[in-house]
Amino acid sequence: MCTVLLMGFSYTANAQVSIRININHQPAWGPSGYDRADFYYFPDLNIYYDVNSSMFYYLSGSRWASNRYLPSRYSRYDFYKMHKVVMNNGPRPWLRNRDHRREYMRFRGDRSQTPIRLSNNRRYDQSKRNSRMWVNGNQRNDQRQQGVRPDQRQGPRNNQRQQGIRPDQRQGPRNNQRQQGARPDQRQGPRNNQRQQGARPDQRQGQRNNPQFNKQRNQQPNNRQSDNKHPDNRPGENRGR
């Protein structure tokens, strides 16, 4: 009997110290300060995010839908600024959505959380590079058609601009080559590649040097009329009198 109790106590103690830590799975826009985060709940949008499976859960009509990306209508929101509630109390939290909406509605509009990307803690070094997009990047044209302003569209360029990163510190091929001290004639790109290969300007590829493009341009009618006509072609009396 004592052995059973001791075994039971030992098992309970091991279960208590067995805590899953998933810092490296947390996205860069997740809230800092948590070693474990199973789900995020967004009070402003009433959606959930599964940290371990990288899946979003949102209402589609009256049913909950799941997808790796949210619909394009969510592209106007900045997840780095919005409040997230960390939930570690079991699977399928959306089944208790009615309670969550009532309990966490006080966090709507709250922008006091510090995202992982802006944290100074070294344990988030890997998570800071986890720039998990919440809307598919191929939906840029959808945002334009829906009337989303350029400064509100989702993308790496706007994210860095909204976070206050200076233009010379933003990530990108152009700035990377500039920061590495590469001269303009040594930077990679279609234009410089052809120049380095010794291609003459009239032999370089591009719309400007495309014979088919030039042929179509020459075939277009010239409807421009000049106001400075030759004196002999002006209507009216003969100016030679």
Q: What's residue 210's pLDDT?
A: 61
Rounded to whole angstroms, how far apart are CA atoms 128 and 116? 6
Q: What's residue 40's pLDDT?
A: 97
Domain regions of the chain by residue span: 23-141
Choose between 139 and 24: higher pLDDT. 24
pLDDT bin (cut points 50, 70, 90) of residue 15 is very low
Backbone φ, ψ for residue 67 (5° rounding): -165, 155
- Give per-residue pLDDT as tens, 92-126: 999 999 999 999 999 999 999 999 999 999 989 98
* Percent of the chain clearing pLDDT 70 (strictly above): 49
* Percent of the chain clearing pLDDT 90 (strictly above): 41
- Residue 139: partners with Cβ closer than 8 Å, 6 or more residues away: 72, 75
Rounded to whole angstroms, how far apart are CA atoms 171 and 187? 16
- Give per-residue pLDDT as tens, 181-218: 767 666 666 666 666 567 666 666 665 566 665 566 66
Q: What's residue 186's pLDDT?
A: 67
The mean pLDDT value for 150-157 works out to 55
Of 46, 50, 134, 31, residue with least CA distance to 91: 50
The CA-atom distances, in angstroms, between 233 and each of 44, 225, 228, 240, 241 are 72, 13, 10, 12, 15
Chain-centroid distance, C-alpha 73:
14
Structure tokens at 156: 């790496």
Lowest mean pLDDT among 99-103, 121-125, 142-146, 147-151: 142-146
- Residue 121: partners with Cβ closer than 8 Å, 6 or more residues away: 32
- Residue 173: partners with Cβ closer than 8 Å, 6 or more residues away: 188
pLDDT of 4 above 90: no
- Give per-residue pLDDT as tens, 56-93: 999 999 999 999 999 999 999 999 999 999 999 999 99
